[in-house]
Chains A and B, each alone.
Chain A
Amino acid sequence: MPHDQISFVRKHMLPEAPPPATETGAVKWLRENLFSSPANTLLTLVSIFVVFNIASASAPWFLNGVWDSPSIAACREILDGRVGGCFAVLSERWNQLLFGFKYPVELYWRPGLAFVLLFVAGAPVLFGKIFPRKMLFFTGLYPFIAYWLIWGGSIMVPIFALLGVVVGAVVYSRVVTISAGVAVIAGFVAALIFWIASGYISRPMADVMALQAVPSRDMGGFMINLMLGVVCVSLSLPLGILLALGRQSRMPIIKWICVVFIEFIRGVPLITLLFVANVVLAYFLPPNVTFDLILRVIIMITMFSSAYIAEVIRGGLAALPRGQYEAANSLGLDYAQSMQLIILPQALKISIPGIVNVAVGLFKDTTLVSVISMFDIVGMIRGPILASMEWKGVYWELFGFACILFFITCYGISQYSQWLERQLRTDHR
């Protein structure tokens, strides 16, 4: 018998065996992610138990929800003893939650339009690569349009305000060749003179293209939160940059003014600043001059957030390598040019996450104005709605609605900032 007939070596490949059942697909995923060890199994079981309890308790509340009823009593009648949410309060008081209870109903389109235009104005700033740069022109006009839409009155007021800004900008561009610092001061003074002069012209023209005026105290609801948030964040960004530069400055007097301002504002809670706006600020204004409560609140919140933004930007400035400052100097750029062209673009890029954190925090803090009896969304819920006969005791639906509004806005902003960070990443990876 020849040797080669007895073969101990396999002549052909076996087909690949399938992996063990515990190492593929869902089973593997479950084993690795949920049941990898006894402790993990316990954690998983506890979590499932908690989720199941929450879901089974809240599901009927959502599913049996009543969306159409005039009052909570009627709502309970419809539910007839079943567990269920009374979401009718949202559909019935929808306008109040968004616009407050005094804003004229027939004028709701105005803040609504201003809200829509906000996206048009914000788009070229937020998504610079997608939208044409020409749209920035509209962004510049937007504050004046929004003011006119929301407060109403003669169109002359926003037009003269805009012209004042133009005059200031022209003067600035003429003087900037001498010195940027002098130019800023000159432009500001020119604009101020123009505004004061235009006050005399615009007074007799109060009826030119006038929309029905709405006083600030008639505004309320989520509109106030949005207004305060947008206005204060956009005002406090330039202020914060100035404060941060001032704190880094080599001029001791300017440095100490900025340090004292920043540390003072950061050391006190926002509520005390709102108290100042509410009861103290009036003492420091000339007699017979009264500011709107909203304007006073805007001033205080802007001061508050500019101090926080200044600290964030200072962190960005400090994080830049010294070489960047020295390179800018060695190119022969003066202070304003080196800041504008070299330092700030990089420092602001590093500061984006921090600035967004401040912006989100500030937007959440706008609810504090309800403490000084302004009717923002929390003030509306606690005041006119929960105190009314029809909706006494509808806590969960209302607070849940406010939570969802804030969650959507704030979560959206933070997702945007993460996207922007990825866009601005210029290092090679």
Chain B
Amino acid sequence: MTTMTDPPKASFQLSMLIYDTRYRSYTFQFIALLLLMLLIGYLGKNLVENLAAQGQNISFGFLSDPSGYDINQRPIEYDSQSSHMRAAVVGVLNTLIVAFLGCITATLFGVTAGILRLSPNWLVRKLMAIYVEAFRNVPVLIWILIIFTVMSASLPSPNQFRGESAEASMVLDAFAFTNRGVYVPSPIWGPGSSVVVLAFLASIIGVFAYRRYATKLLYDTGRLLPMGWPSLAILFVPTILIFFIMGQPISLDYPALQGFNFVGGLHIRGSLIALWFALAIYTGAFIAENVRAGIQAVSKGQTEAAASLGLRPGRIMKLVILPQALRVIIPPLISQYLNLTKNSSLAIAVGYMDVTGTLGGITLNQTGRAIECVLLLMLFYLTISLSISAVMNVYNNSIKLKER
């Protein structure tokens, strides 16, 4: 006698699409897909009708037409006869320049402020808290505009550097801060300068090799080699020697007042400085909080354990705290870099010609090809974001705690 029977196999009924949880998910997905396709179809139909009504079409042919406008900061050859495509590339390079400079400076500000916020010094701690709160709670656009105002309205014009009793003077005879931008000396690469550069690159590798050797020696034999001054010596002594042996091939081109303006040297425009500095100081405030949180996330027992092993404070920081804190700090740090890069699109507010200013600004207005320009613009930022987050995922996986 069997009491166990297979459950009755109910034949499929239409109502099961709603009531039976096994099939309900298919219903929902089907509805969602249907709605999505309807939406896309509807938007597409509108797009086609609107374009037809205005006699336009979607085409990227305009990218090869001459752009007809000038860009004041050109990392590569460009003039008003170049194509819109080239203008966009110049914009992309300008974006990358300001993002790169901004990230480095923001890290400097952020790490300094984050460590000083944990300082035993009450005054410094409070000052850094004020810095962080003041900059985090005010829009970055306002900071960009404020610093741009400082650069353009508060600095002397090149005219004021003229004459015996000039109102303004150059700092160290090398740096001129004017309302048209900052002029700094630029290097002149003479013949043989490549040897010096190569020597410098070789010494950087040498420093790493030395440090590796010292660590290996420490682990193998327990003998401790000094790290600080030999590294510095390896870094600079050979390069300086070769610099003089080759007959000083690298010299500096100083800016000098000529006519109504400065010539020579490197001209950094006020818009670049405003954008760079504002982004750096604003993102720095966020990084400071990340750094502080990361250091505080390492439990106090770690410090005490390291101290009881007899490590000195500097080594405790370097060998015990930092490796654990970095695991917490680096992921948010990278997303701050990403934010900085995206915020650099605010360049358009101060006339810095980044990709938003060229492709999304002047090119868009001149050609009227709004859809294509905005699409390309989004694709550019999307590529940067997705590639950075891909790198971050790899990194996150590599530092994941290897737990048993």
Contact = CB atoms under 8 A, between A and B. Distances in A.
Nearest to B44: A284
B141 A40 contact: no
A251 B121 contact: no
Most buried by B among A48, A254, A334, A365: A254
A254 B29 contact: yes
A200 B49 CA distance: 27
Interface stretch (B130-138, B225-233, B246-254, B258-266): B130-138
Interface of B: 18-19, 21, 24-25, 28-29, 31-33, 36, 43, 46-47, 49-51, 53, 119-124, 127, 133-134, 136-142, 145-146, 149, 153, 342-343, 345-346, 348-349, 356, 360, 364, 370-371, 374, 377-378, 381-382, 385-386
A268 B382 CA distance: 6
B121 A44 contact: yes
Contacts of B53: 287
A198 interface: no
Nearest to A365: B139
B349 A371 contact: yes
A280 B139 contact: no
Interface residues of A, number: 61
Given A272-B377, A280-B371, A34 B139 contact: no
B124 A272 contact: no
Nearest to B31: A185
A411 B132 CA distance: 11
A250 interface: yes
B142 A360 contact: no
A238 interface: no
Given A51-B123, A253-B29, A285-B46, 18 more contacts: A40-B121, A47-B127, A51-B127, A253-B33, A254-B28, A264-B382, A268-B378, A271-B345, A280-B374, A283-B46, A367-B139, A368-B346, A370-B141, A371-B348, A382-B145, A395-B146, A395-B153, A403-B138
A43 interface: yes
Given A44-B123, A267-B385, A272-B356, A280 B370 contact: yes
A48 B123 contact: yes
A234 interface: no
B29 A268 contact: no
Contacts of A280: 370-371, 374
A286 B50 CA distance: 8
B199 to A, nearest CB: 36
A181 interface: yes
B50 A268 contact: no
B288 to A, nearest CB: 15
Contacts of A36: 120-121
Contacts of A287: 46, 49-50, 53
B141 A367 contact: yes
Contacts of B24: 179, 181
B145 A399 contact: yes
Most buried by A among B123, B139, B145, B364: B139
A368 B374 CA distance: 17
B386 A411 contact: no
Contact of A378 (B145, B348, B386): B145
A73 interface: no
A253 B37 CA distance: 12
A414 interface: yes
B325 to A, nearest CB: 20
5 contacts: A252-B29, A272-B381, A334-B21, A367-B142, A403-B146
A276 B142 contact: no
Contacts of B136: 410
Nearest to B356: A271
Contacts, number: 163
Nearest to A286: B46
Contacts of A251: 25, 28-29, 32
B342 A268 contact: yes
A297 to B, nearest CB: 15
A283 B122 contact: no
A272 B374 contact: yes
A365 B345 CA distance: 12
Contact of B32 (A253, A403, A406): A253
Contact of B381 (A47, A269, A367): A269
Nearest to A42: B121
A411 B133 contact: yes
A421 to B, nearest CB: 15
A382 B351 CA distance: 14
Interface in A148-195: 178-179, 181-182, 185
B25 to A, nearest CB: 5
A270 B356 CA distance: 12
A269 B345 contact: yes
Interface string A241-285: 000000000111110010000011011111110011001101111
Nearest to A273: B378
Interface string A348-392: 000000000000100011011011000000100010000000000
B120 A40 contact: yes
Task: For the complex of A and B, list the 6 residue pairs with the smallest distance between their C-beta atoms, beginning with the closest.
Answer: A33-B122, A267-B385, A410-B137, A269-B342, A364-B139, A279-B370
Contacts of B51: 283
A407 interface: yes
A402 interface: yes
Contacts of B370: 275, 279-280, 283
A410 B121 CA distance: 27
A272 B342 CA distance: 10
Contacts of B32: 251, 253-254, 257
B143 to A, nearest CB: 9
Nearest to B51: A283
B345 A34 contact: no
Contacts of B124: 43-44, 47
A362 to B, nearest CB: 11
A421 B174 CA distance: 54
Contacts of A181: 24, 28
A66 B342 CA distance: 40
Given A33-B122, A34-B123, A269 B18 contact: no
A395 B364 CA distance: 31
B253 to A, nearest CB: 34
A407 B28 contact: no
Contacts of A406: 137-139, 142
B58 to A, nearest CB: 10
A395 B149 contact: yes
B360 A272 contact: yes
Contact of A284 (B43, B121, B139, B356): B43
A308 to B, nearest CB: 11
A254 B35 CA distance: 11
B131 to A, nearest CB: 11
B149 A399 contact: yes
Contacts of B121: 33-34, 36, 40, 43-44, 47
Contacts of A50: 127
B360 A275 contact: yes
B145 A250 contact: no
A393 interface: yes
A47 B137 CA distance: 23
A182 B385 CA distance: 37
Contacts of A368: 141, 346
Interface in A270-310: 270-272, 275-276, 279-280, 282-287
Nearest to A258: B32
Contacts of B343: 269
B343 to A, nearest CB: 7
